[in-house]
Amino acid sequence: MAAAASYEQAYAAWQSDPQGWWAAAAEGLEWDQRWDRVFDASIGPYGRWFVGGRLNTCFNALDRHVRDGRGEQVALIWDSAMVGRVERFTYADLLARTEKMAGALAARGVGAGDRVVIYMPMVPEAAIAMLACARIGAVHSVVFGGFAAAELAARIADAKPKVIVSASCGLEPGRVVKYKPLLDAAIGLSPHKPDRCLILQRAQARADLTPGRDEDLTEAMAAAAPHPCVPVAATDPLYILYTSGTTGRPKGVVRDNGGHAVALWNSMRMIYGLDAGDVFWTASDVGWVVGHSYIVYAPLLRGCTSVMYEGKPVGTPDAGAFWRVIADHKVKVLFTAPTAMRAIKQQDPEGARTRDYDLSSLEALYLAGERCDPPTATWAAELLGKPVVDHWWQTETGWAITAGFRQYGLFPFRPGSGGRPCPGHDLHALDDDGHVLPRGQSGNLSIRLPLPPGCAPTLWQNEEGYRTAYLSDFPGWYRTGDAGVVDEAGDVWVMGRTDDIINVAGHRLSTGSMEEVLASHPDVAECAVVGAKDELKGQAPIGLVVLKAGVSRPEADVARELVALVRERIGPVAAFKDARVVARLPKTRSGKILRATIRKLADGEVPVVPATIEDPAALEEVSAALQR
């Protein structure tokens, strides 16, 4: 692909006229009403984009492509390794189904601004439900299937949906995950109850429907009248996506309609080098931000073909699964988490399975979701003989903060680096007092306000929470929560979180919320959960617990109960499998548990023992427990 300009030119063009740059990008979409102001700094925690503009995200993702002659192009390929089936939906098909789903929601009283929770596995109806919400101006909140009932309940309680769209079951290797009992339990736990639940009945486990509340989704869609697009304000919310914060309470990250559509539409060519008609496969889950942005919205906004894969990189049926999908659907760019590559590498270190498939369509592999260890990036690059691009972002930003840019020509491969700041992001490492550090020095990676379009303008009904979480530490800056370095060349190296968020198999989790669960066990006096390096998943949580005085039950029994409790309250996705009993936890003299020190020990490093430690022997005990 010919480079439109160099990265330096593009970045400089954005820097010299940020509003002009984004206004030009916004021309790629169709607006019902143009914006009055490209950016208005006076609204919200740091300002809002495309104020006064009106558009419909679903119209831009579906209707206009059909109108412009792409109706017969495949929009979505659903490839399920779990049921051994492939279904292709043209833009015309996807539009027809979305119109019906929108009609079904509207018939149940859902209108602009109402919330709809979507709790679904990787089935086309999940994407259709998202687009249907966008179509009628409703706000969706997708909840990942690997969460337990209590997590779902917390999201229902906060978002207060009128309707929940769900399925009878999800499919994990070797087990059918029945969603309905989880959904029923969550609705029972939540003080807010939805009016209706629309349930997709899957053949692997049909669900009993609750009379008066639940309805069969397929029947509801069949009976519905197609619903047209409802234009909304660019600043109206498109969705809420809950993500782990530093407390047990998840944060409701809000995405608006206008800025989101502009940023994602623009990113498809600028970052991934893709255009209408190209096949893009993001191997993630619609429950995560990567799935929202790059399985559903961005590829459709650009008129691409998006692959939605229900399966794993290994075991469904083997380590050749990803190569099979690339060959079968002629995927041009694959985007996945490093964990997926590590899983394949572990089972097929020589990459022999690539020889069974024609991978000639593949032009690049993009990685994100967690730090990619250089050996894995190098392995993938050598195996595929294609560029491997690591790019760094977060649920809050909705698209990449740093990346490599196929439109401008990729940077030389530097495994371990997340690339350079995307135009739109003025990124620097700050010291703890908020001063910009010289290049090459490690600090708090922070973005000078305003954030670009597509980034969260606020948290759901919690503007103050947004300010406290991201803006108050360094006035004028958004604190990403990641530590890292911007080096002399401008490459960014992300080292890890500065808070208690961990990344397990590319899944963002809070150790604080796991601690809350452990502390609720009747035998536990106090506890600490830290993320330790894991060969496959990047990080894995380890819980250290001190039992209450007088508890004489076998430690192994308590540990087993704690593992079960985290699975029950947070869900299997927490991958909490390791609880160890210790006599005491190392603390400072003021009583603060030395989590950072414990984390280093768990990673097999020799920590610098803080001068404020109260009882050094406690550290030795924890060290011994971690080596058990």
- Give the footprint of ligand COA on this chain (CB under 6 A): 145-146, 170, 172, 177, 283-285, 288, 290, 312-314, 337, 339-340, 343, 369, 504-507, 537, 572-573, 575
Under 8 Å between Cβ of 213 and 197: yes
Q: Report the nearest approach of ligand AMP to the CB of residue 480 (Å).
A: 6
Hey, which residues does 388 pair with through a beta bridge?
365
Instruction: Provide the residue type at 414 as one letter.
Output: R
Nearest to residue 336, comparing CAs of 547, 126, 505, 111? 505
Radius of gyration of the chain (CA): 24
- Which backbone phi and psi does 498 adopt, to 5 degrees? -100, 0
- 3-class DSSP state for residue 320? coil
- Residues 119, 453: Cα–Cα separation, whole Å: 27
Nearest to residue 115, comparing CAs of 138, 98, 144, 142? 138
- Residue 172 binds: one of ligand COA, ligand AMP, none (C-beta under 5 to 8 A by kind): ligand COA
Please report whether residue 292 would count as binding ligand AMP according to CB under 6 A. Answer: no
The helix (H) or strand (E) run that includes residue 179 is: helix 179-189
Please report whether residue 364 would count as binding ligand AMP according to CB under 6 A. Answer: no
Q: Report the nearest approach of ligand COA to the CB of residue 170 (Å).
A: 5
- Residue 340 binds: one of ligand AMP, ligand COA, none (C-beta under 5 to 8 A by kind): ligand COA
- 3-class DSSP state for residue 129? helix
Q: Report the nearest approach of ligand AMP to the CB of residue 532 (Å).
A: 16
Q: How far is CA 75 from CA 60, 159, 304, in A?
A: 13, 30, 6
Q: Report the nearest approach of ligand COA to the CB of residue 167 (Å).
A: 11
Helices (H) and strands (E) counted in the chain, each on its own, are 20, 31
Please report whether residue 446 would count as binding ligand AMP according to CB under 6 A. Answer: no
Q: Pattern 109-138, binding to ligand AMP, x per CB under 6 A?
A: ------------------------------
Q: Which is nearer to ligand AMP, 319 or 368 (CB)?
A: 368
Q: Report the nearest approach of ligand COA to the CB of residue 239 (Å).
A: 17
* Crossing angle of helices 124-136 and 91-107, rounded to 10°: 60
Q: Which is nearer to ligand AMP, 108 or 508 (CB)?
A: 508
Instruction: Evaluate the CA torsion angle 564, 567, 572, 578 in order and state its sign.
Output: negative
Q: Which is nearer to ligand AMP, 412 or 591 (CB)?
A: 412
- Which backbone phi and psi does 208 adopt, to 5 degrees? -80, 130
Candidates 28-36, 375-383, 385-393, 599-607 — which segment interacts with ligand AMP by CB under 6 A?
385-393
The helix (H) or strand (E) run that includes residue 217 is: helix 217-223
- Residue 575 binds: one of ligand AMP, ligand COA, none (C-beta under 5 to 8 A by kind): ligand COA
- Residue 102 binds: one of ligand AMP, ligand COA, none (C-beta under 5 to 8 A by kind): none
Q: Report the nearest approach of ligand COA to the CB of residue 233 (Å).
A: 30
Question: What DSSP designation does 387 have?
Answer: -
Candidates 211-219, 223-231, 311-319, 386-394 — which segment interacts with ligand AMP by CB under 6 A?
386-394
Please report whether residue 508 would count as binding ligand AMP according to CB under 6 A. Answer: yes
Nearest to residue 399, comparing CAs of 270, 303, 274? 270
Q: Which is nearer to ligand AMP, 79 or 285 (CB)?
A: 285
Instruction: Provide the residue type at 357 as one letter.
Output: Y
Instruction: Provide the residue type at 31 as one letter.
Output: W
Q: Report the nearest approach of ligand AMP to the CB of residue 246 (Å).
A: 12
Structure tokens at 183: 């959904």
- Residues 97, 416: Cα–Cα separation, whole Å: 42
Please report whether residue 418 would count as binding ligand AMP according to CB under 6 A. Answer: yes
Provide the phi-psi class of 51: left if phi over 0, else alpha when psi is between -120 and 50, else beta: beta
- 3-class DSSP state for residue 152? helix
Please report whether residue 571 would count as binding ligand AMP according to CB under 6 A. Answer: no
- Residue 572 binds: one of ligand AMP, ligand COA, none (C-beta under 5 to 8 A by kind): ligand COA
- Residue 337 binds: one of ligand AMP, ligand COA, none (C-beta under 5 to 8 A by kind): ligand COA
Half-sphere exposure in the Cβ direction for 82 (13 Å, CA) = 21
- Residue 343 binds: one of ligand AMP, ligand COA, none (C-beta under 5 to 8 A by kind): ligand COA
Question: What DSSP designation does 613 have?
Answer: B
- Residues 287, 241: Cα–Cα separation, whole Å: 8
- Residue 170 binds: one of ligand COA, ligand AMP, none (C-beta under 5 to 8 A by kind): ligand COA
Hey, which residues does 389 pair with through a beta bridge?
366
Please report whether residue 371 would count as binding ligand AMP according to CB under 6 A. Answer: yes
Among 494, 547, 558, 618, binds ligand AMP (CB under 6 A): 494
Please report whether residue 369 would count as binding ligand AMP according to CB under 6 A. Answer: yes
- Residue 319 binds: one of ligand COA, ligand AMP, none (C-beta under 5 to 8 A by kind): none
Q: Which is nearer to ligand AMP, 91 or 280 (CB)?
A: 280
Q: Report the nearest approach of ligand COA to the CB of residue 113 (Å).
A: 29
Instruction: Provide the residue type at 130 as one letter.
Output: M
Q: Which is nearer to ligand AMP, 292 or 587 (CB)?
A: 292
Nearest to residue 528, comparing CAs of 571, 587, 484? 587
Q: Is 589 exposed, middle or buried (0-12, 13-18, 19+ CB in 10 A)?
A: exposed
Candidates 7-15, 128-136, 369-377, 448-456 — which segment interacts with ligand AMP by CB under 6 A?
369-377
Place of tokens 């909840």: 143
Structure tokens at 559: 């540990």
Among 70, 302, 324, 391, binds ligand AMP (CB under 6 A): 391
Q: Which is nearer to ligand COA, 80 or 284 (CB)?
A: 284
Please report whether residue 424 would count as binding ligand AMP according to CB under 6 A. Answer: no
Q: Report the nearest approach of ligand COA to the CB of residue 27 (Å).
A: 30
Q: Is 32 exposed, middle or buried (0-12, 13-18, 19+ CB in 10 A)?
A: middle
- Residues 298, 296: Cα–Cα separation, whole Å: 6
Candidates 59-67, 128-136, 313-321, 393-401 — which segment interacts with ligand AMP by CB under 6 A?
393-401
Nearest to residue 450, comparing CAs of 33, 21, 31? 21
Instruction: Provide the residue type at 420 as one letter.
Output: R
Q: Which is nearer to ligand COA, 319 or 558 (CB)?
A: 319
Please report whether residue 421 would count as binding ligand AMP according to CB under 6 A. Answer: no
Please report whether residue 146 would count as binding ligand AMP according to CB under 6 A. Answer: no
Q: Report the nearest approach of ligand COA to the CB of residue 336 (Å).
A: 6
Q: Which is nearer to ligand AMP, 137 or 369 (CB)?
A: 369
- 3-class DSSP state for residue 354? helix
Residues at the contact surface with ligand AMP, assessed by CB under 6 A: 243, 289, 368-371, 390-395, 418, 481-482, 494, 497, 503, 508
